Amino acid sequence: MKKNVLLLAIALFTAALNLRPAINTIAPLLGNITADLGMNAVVASLLTSIPVLCMGIFSPIAVKVGGKWGIERIIGLSLWIIGVGTVIRLFTHSATLLLITAFITGVGIALIGPLMSGFIRLHFPKQIPSMIAVYTVALTLGSTSSTWLSIPLQEGFHSWRASLAFWAIIAVIAGGIWWLFVNLQVKKSVHTDSVNTQVKLPWRNGKAWLITISFGLMAILFYSFTAWLPQIIEGMGYTTSYAANSLTILFVIQIPVSLVLPSLLKKYPSRRLWLVIGSLFEILGLFLLVVDVSPWLASALIGIGAGGLFPLNVLLPIDAAGNHHEAAAWSAKAQSIGYVIGAAGPIMLGWLHDATNSFASAVVVMIVIVLLMIVVQIAATVKRRNPIDLVEQAS
């Protein structure tokens, strides 16, 4: 039994590695991509916004297809979709085709996202915070490695296209591991016992909307940083390498934060406390960008905040759910609208840059968004529906 749980955890980890490289490889190479394909800032921002938008649009569909054919099968299929969309980038010679690859990979990522909550809730009922930490660490590791290696891979292959397409290898490996460790190990689908059960998203639930808005504001900030932080720092007079390394720091520092968070939650289980602390770290980092003080330190502070905010926002719908069906539905609701909201972030920053020829006003706007997010976080954690003592379950 322990061996089976370990195999499922490994599969979870390798699958989560693939949820960000298709997005995060873009920012460090954006200068070369836009110069080669003749893209302006707004069009270039779509390379980040399209996958995020897909993550919003296709999340409800993920719940339906997962309910019909099984969460495990859909996650496995989605890994192959990500791989196909990524490898096509090797043959990209137009902005249109590159945008199409962003859509394909976005669909694959979108189908996996909300189903992971149901998968964790069902297969790891006594280790939920720990497995969310594993999921978050893998996701962050994928973000970090893809950001950090993008330029070295471009230099090694002498091609930004090959650098982007390289990450298809990881998707293929993860797809194989998922098939061996999950689809061949789990004899019955997550939803086999209730194929005819109608899984409905909580559209009329006020708490679900607050959780969704919290997720959306978090996504606006995260994907704005992902798309534009290197360019913001370059605009302050720093080198391209320094700017790319600053984004890497933002991702790297999230790993220890994600690992420490379950222990902090066990000692101080208040979601609100850690949500607000994470937001304050992001405000402090943004303030350092405004006053032009050590972008590396600013990136680290923003990364500390982001490293706590994502797993906490993933926990909120699982807290509210009564079973794994509801966990997938509540997560799909949060991610459906939340990622649509988040997709507006890179576009908004690109528009502000084109309008002002500067990112100064964009940084101020992000500070305002963080303050609004704190208000929503407080409202979303006033009272939990169907509370589940996840921390006690993990102990």
Rounded-to-integer distance, Cα 130 and Cα 270, Å: 16
| 325 three-class SS | helix
Q: How many domains does the chain have?
A: 1
343 contact partners, CB below 8 Å, separation of at least 6 = 49, 50, 52, 53, 56, 219, 223
Rounded-to-integer distance, Cα 71 and Cα 184, Å: 14
Q: Is residue 395 part of a domain?
A: no
Q: Is residue 394 part of a domain?
A: no
Reported as a single tens digit per residue, the pLDDT across 178-224 is: 988 887 666 544 444 444 455 677 888 888 899 999 999 999 999 89
Q: Which domain holds residue 164?
A: 2-189+197-389
Q: Is residue 77 part of a domain?
A: yes
Which stretches within 179-292 are classed as H helix? 206-235, 240-252, 254-267, 271-290
Rounded-to-integer distance, Cα 99 and Cα 89, Å: 10
| Phi, psi (degrees; rounded to nearest 5) at 85 | -60, -35
The domain that holds 317 is classified in CATH as 1.20.1250.20
- Compute the radius of gyration of the chain from its Cα atoms: 20
At residue 198, the pLDDT reads 58
Contact 278, 308 (CB under 8 A): yes
Mean pLDDT of the chain: 86
Q: Is residue 351 part of a domain?
A: yes
Return the beta strands (E) in 145-199 as ranges.
Answer: none
Q: Is residue 127 part of a domain?
A: yes
Which secondary structure element, helix H or strand E, spans residue 140, and what is its range? helix 128-157
Distances (CA, A) of 186 to 13, 130, 395: 17, 21, 25
From first to last of its 395 residues, the chain has per-residue pLDDT tens of 466 888 899 999 999 999 999 998 998 898 899 999 998 878 888 898 898 888 878 888 888 888 788 888 899 999 999 999 999 999 999 999 999 999 999 999 999 988 888 888 888 888 888 898 899 999 989 988 998 899 999 999 999 999 999 999 999 999 999 988 887 666 544 444 444 455 677 888 888 899 999 999 999 999 899 888 988 998 888 888 888 889 889 988 999 998 899 899 888 989 999 999 999 999 999 999 999 888 999 999 999 999 999 999 998 988 877 677 677 788 888 888 888 888 888 888 888 888 888 888 889 999 999 999 999 999 999 864 444 443 444 43
Please tell me the pTM assigned to this model: 0.78
Q: Is residue 325 part of a domain?
A: yes
